[in-house]
Structure 1
Amino acid sequence: MLSNGEKVEYARRLNSVLDYVDQHLDTSLELDKLAEVAHFSRFHFHRIFAAWMGETLGDYARRRRLETAAWRLSCDRQASVLDIALACGFASGEAFARAFKLRFDCTPSQWRAGSDERRLAQVRAGYENRARHDSNLSQVLSNSDQVNVNGICEDGGSYQPRRKYLMEVNIVQLPAVRVAYQRYIGPYGPGVTEFWRSKVTPWMQVHGLQDQVCYGIGYDDPSVTAADKCRYDACVTITEGFAPGAHANVKTLPGGAYAVAQFNGPATAVNDAWMELMREYLPASGMQCDDRPCFEQFSANSALDLQTGIFSCLLCIPVKAL
């Protein structure tokens, strides 16, 4: 039986492996190299990974290749299906097409053709989920009895925008930023709220990071990835020499061009704003998403007005020209 300290260390090492896999999908992902990244012996690593993740290393790599390819098909309309297949580690277009059809029950081209409809459905589903639960970001440094957040959909009905946010959107060149992150794996929603409250915020306070800029990054599409395998990173900006200890990993969020909008409103209505950006701004902008993650950027100690329930953050969409 592992102690709590051992569990934390295992999670830190295995999260490094997950990051390495995502960054090297176009390579062969040799077992020896991944065991080295995790600092486990080759003999034990495969069994440790399978026990921790609930799937074998081979199954995980295959799933991530297909899910990443699905995302790129949706976001990069200019890249050919073959280019995406090769970038995700498939040896040929034929091998990719067979694996994609088996996983998603459609061809890569059919998947690409339905991208806009799927994206809106995903944002709508996220809105409905958030309408039923507290916002994952609204309670980072607050208790549930401190805030009266307006705008919750009591009947859990279909998406009905309360108002148009009419946010000003600017294309901004954001710098790369070094962050410490803790990873939550599981269904998006209340579990992420509890993760910020019970794990991330206390760690930030211990390390004097409560005044730093934070980022919330959901990497997976719940309509594609099983809920218990969705990944969310709670990130906080750190300096170059900062040592995060055993509870967090360090990485660099990519810089580049982002469509950035300031959101100010009820925390439960953030998905309204995302819907507006995806449905109205992006198609008319001459831009498209690329395969960097979208994120919400905020300051943990000032993002939420405890008196009004107004939440303030930047919604950041990585973009490139059509």
Structure 2
Amino acid sequence: MDDSLPQLNRAEYTRRMNRVIDHIDRHLDGALETAELADIANFSRFHFHRIFAAWMGETIGDYVRRRRLETAAFHLSCGSQASVLEVALSTGFGSGEALARAFRQKFGCSPSAWRDGTRERLAALAAGLRQAREEANSNPDQVNGSGGQAGFLPLGEYGDSQSPNGENQMEVHVIDLPAVTIAYQRHIGPYGMSIGEFWRNTMSPWMHSHGLDSATCYGVGHDDPSITAPEKCRYDACVEVPQGFKNGGQASISTLPGGRYAVAQFKGQATTIAAAWNSLIREWLPSSGLQCDDRPLFERFSPQTALNPQTGEFTCELCVPVRAL
């Protein structure tokens, strides 16, 4: 196995490491042994720790601890009624005290204080985003638009909590969605305009070369940039593919889980989709009698109709996986 490593191209490395990262996220509440992760990646057990650290910029242990803590922080800030102990156990901490120690070390506060300070934290982030937009708009050389294939902001970049007309309501339907087989390519780095460039320069040409121009697309932002460092944020540009699809070596194949989702229709300018996500997760969800579960949140859209070139409006569905409180 070791002798074959130099012959593996970057796309193959990417697919193998994505398998490991996805497995970690799905099993944060369990034991994650290095040997098991090496087998999932089909890399040498002896060398895998070094390979992972070189690829991700942090050791396996540091990555797992960070993901457990960030997932716990997200659940505490998105309206979950679970106790601190329940959140701790669901994210791989052995006790509420262990989670509290990790929180104080990382965020300088207790898990309860983190949950109580969600509104203030988001307000500060929104103010920073507004300032960044104003600075970008004042620069005539700045490209108009801020992310996504059609210029949309990825989920997690929160703006004002209200819609552009000052209201704080949206029509949300709770429905069952089927599981979907997807091909995806992953972008690691700050959300924003680089996501749009990733769709345009990497994902869209790949879709075209595989006859997928009209297939349904999904944008999956795995991390909340109010919690995760920008350079470590993960975003998957995804397209629906048929069973048995041959990916041609560049994309990874996975399944977007089916089940119960809260689905809200978004139609508006790119700069307002962040506010729509904020309203859906921070306002509608806590009052719905539901809570977000561990499946990914995503934007679903048709690449052919998502963007109105005349008005600049972007249309998509905001999909939040939910279960009862």
Shift of 1:113: 2.1
Q: 2:308 aligns with which of 302, 305, 309?
A: 305
Q: Paired residue for 2:156?
A: none
Q: Paired residue for 2:263?
A: 260
Between 11-20 and 87-96, report the one with greater CA deviation: 87-96
Indicate if the aligned counterparts of 2:218 and 2:238 stay in contact, CA closer than 8 A.
yes
Return the letter of the residue paired with 2:148.
Answer: L
Q: Paired residue for 2:56?
A: 53
- TM-score, scaled to structure 2: 0.83
Q: Paired residue for 1:134?
A: 145
Q: 2:36 aligns with which of 21, 33, 36?
A: 33
Indicate if the aligned counterparts of 2:218 and 2:299 stay in contact, CA closer than 8 A.
yes
For 2:289 and 2:130, how far apart are their aligned partners in 1? 25
| Partner-residue secondary structure (3-state), 1:14 | helix
For 1:32 and 1:289, how far apart are their aligned partners in 2? 32
| Partner-residue secondary structure (3-state), 2:249 | helix
Q: Paired residue for 1:106?
A: 109
User: Does the C-alpha gap of structure 1 residues 84 and 46 become closer, same or farther in structure 2, counting only changes over 3 Å?
Assistant: same
For 1:119 and 1:289, how far apart are their aligned partners in 2? 18
User: Does the C-alpha gap of structure 1 residues 117 and 33 become closer, same or farther in structure 2, counting only changes over 3 Å?
Assistant: same
Q: Deviations over 1:278-297 (max 9, x none)?
A: 45534543444333332211
Between 160-169 and 195-204, report the one with greater CA deviation: 160-169
Matched, 1:12 2:15: yes
Shift of 1:49: 0.9
User: Does the C-alpha gap of structure 1 residues 25 and 162 become closer, same or farther in structure 2, counting only changes over 3 Å?
Assistant: closer
For 1:246 and 1:5, how far apart are their aligned partners in 2? 11
Indicate if the aligned counterparts of 2:78 and 2:281 stay in contact, CA closer than 8 A.
no
Indicate if the aligned counterparts of 2:217 and 2:300 stay in contact, CA closer than 8 A.
yes
RMSD over aligned CA atoms reads 2.9
Return the letter of the residue paired with 1:139.
Answer: A
Q: How does 1:216-231 map to 2 (within 5 A)?
A: 216-231=219-234
User: Does the C-alpha gap of structure 1 residues 317 and 311 become closer, same or farther in structure 2, counting only changes over 3 Å?
Assistant: same
For 1:41 and 1:76, how far apart are their aligned partners in 2? 42
For 1:158 and 1:27, how far apart are their aligned partners in 2? 37
Shift of 1:161: 5.2
Shift of 1:5: 7.1
Matched, 1:163 2:174: no
Q: Paired residue for 1:210?
A: 213
Q: Paired residue for 1:91?
A: 94
For 1:205 and 1:178, how far apart are their aligned partners in 2? 18
Matched, 1:273 2:284: no
User: Does the C-alpha gap of structure 1 residues 4 and 115 become closer, same or farther in structure 2, counting only changes over 3 Å?
Assistant: farther
User: Does the C-alpha gap of structure 1 residues 277 and 25 become closer, same or farther in structure 2, counting only changes over 3 Å?
Assistant: closer
For 2:162 and 2:89, how far apart are their aligned partners in 1? 41
Between 275-284 and 179-188, report the one with greater CA deviation: 275-284
| Partner-residue secondary structure (3-state), 2:9 | helix
Between 269-278 and 210-219, report the one with greater CA deviation: 269-278
For 2:48 and 2:86, how far apart are their aligned partners in 1? 32
| Partner-residue secondary structure (3-state), 1:246 | coil
Percent sequence identity over matched residues? 57
Return the letter of the residue paired with 2:150.
Answer: Q
Structure 2 unaligned residues grouped into runs of 5+: 137-143, 153-158
Number of corresponding residues? 306
Matched, 1:199 2:202: yes
- TM-score, scaled to structure 1: 0.84
Q: Paired residue for 2:248?
A: 245
Indicate if the aligned counterparts of 1:129 and 1:189 stay in contact, CA closer than 8 A.
no
Q: Paired residue for 2:139?
A: none
Indicate if the aligned counterparts of 1:120 and 1:279 stay in contact, CA closer than 8 A.
no
